Structure 1
Amino acid sequence: MKLIRFGPAGAERAGLVDAAGRLRDVSMLVPDWGPAQLAPRTLAAVAAIDAARLPEVEAGTRLGCPLAGIGKIVCVGLNYADHAREAGLAPPGEPVLFMKATSALCGPHDAVRIPAGAQKTDWEVELGVVVGTRMRSVARADALAHVAGYVLANDVSERSFQMERGGQWDKGKGCDTFAPVGPWLATPDELTDPHALDLWLELNGERMQGGSTRDFIFDLPTVLAYISQFMTLEPGDLVLTGTPAGVGLGQKPEPRFLRPGDVMRLGATGLGEQRLTCVAG
């Protein structure tokens, strides 16, 4: 299934995308999509419904982040060799981890606010993995069995805060609206192979990023098992798995960063597209 949440910010309701690509309202059966609703029994019950009989979502309705109640966002840095090279860094020997604030979450077409004092706001198209069942010291071979689904994400980053304000990545990653997610959460049956997804991002119509999850340095079972050695991953937690080359910081001959009025359009195989306009914060 492809799960969506629609409606005004803070008042979203549960929906899904039917086989014809139409948005349907399922809120009379499941009021909202949160960690508790990721239980296999709940998802199986919703999957058994004839989606064509559900009310259509009115055209133009806002889409929110497709999952409510995300407990934490754990991110993997430098997980593509080409991105590590453009950053002037050697590919890491172990996954590089950092956190992103849940207050940064927003919908797939919401405005991205460039915060006051920002000088180097950047883009990063990524595959996101949503945890469905608790993971604590999980073996690599068992890791994907704990996945509830996959999402398109943009790890928006303010490089001056990240790199020039004391060396902590988190402060450049967690600004409000710096985690657009969606448009939908695709359950694992929707993707033939999460390690064969093309990702891309355009800025004002110009292609900036193009890559594939085939090129992960650390694949998804490795990443999930690794994280679970250091912290428990709970249902509804979101793991962002890294970005391919083409970020603003890596542009040649000069870096290129986001400005108010810029429009980012990005997508991934089977996970839809985002369209995000930048505004002054």
Structure 2
Amino acid sequence: MTTALFSHKSSWNHITPAGHAEQVARIEHIQATLRDAQFDALDRREAPECCDADLLLCHPQSHLDTITAAEPISGTVALDGDTYMSPGSTLAARHAVGGCLAAVDAVMAGEVGNAFVACRPPGHHAEQSKPMGFCLFGTAAIAAKHALERHGLSRVAVVDFDVHHGNGTQALLWDEPRSMFIGSHQNPLWPGTGMQEETGANDNVMNLPLPPHSDGRLMRATYEAQVFPALEAFQPELLILSAGFDAHKDDPLAQLEWIEEDFTWLTQKLCDVADQHCGGRVVSTLEGGYDLNALAASVAAHVGVLMERAK
């Protein structure tokens, strides 16, 4: 068995203004790194476009209509102070969702051991009817609902280690008792959500705020004390990772001080949980990470562990 890498050329067609953190260069750096010989064994697959029925697992039709109508004929348009669309943005977001659903399908079918979805834009800030934080559709949450509704799973966990709280995933899964959402993130930091008292409608949400300038030692202690015991108790049948790499010490948008070895450790530990409860089934989808070199190095560390554990 191996690790599947899902990507699509549409990620290059989602254009943001010059100087914007969520830029095409992110995917260029990731793909350049994953072309190294050490990644030759990746099962490289094209991310398909999702359909409306997929998006409707989490979003109302009105949201789909709003996103479609907002896409400009040329140039870029701002949906808010951070979130932009260009011609091709909707298709790129649909391929990001479609890639994550295809990754779930491939892992559930036993075609691959695990999967990484290298697409943009990210998704974990998009709420039911609100694009925000560079995100149009709630990719990880839609993948969780896909696994529950279409693969008949009873328990799916989403672990989000992006430096910004995954408010969208939390909102989309808030009322879903078959899911567990666990998010570690810097606090205080945008979007200002993710407090410990936010526990979901069914005690299915766990938030782990981390203070600025804390490093991987606090992250590791926090995950050991809280995350892994919670996952052990929940016993997920599939583990979905919202893999943001902006907790890296070099990232310009936040002040956590993780290094590549921290992402390696965290991926190994999460794979341990998957081995024990999920038959190793892990689907990881790209979220943030805005220092290009740190992003590429951290993705390489993360995917390297997935490949080792898929054997």
For the criterion TM > 0.5, the same-fold answer is: no
TM-score scaled by structure 1? 0.29
Does 1 or 2 have the higher relative contact order (CA < 8 Å, sep 6+)?
1
The structure with the greater share of residues assigned to strand is 1
Higher helix proportion (structure 1 or 2): 2
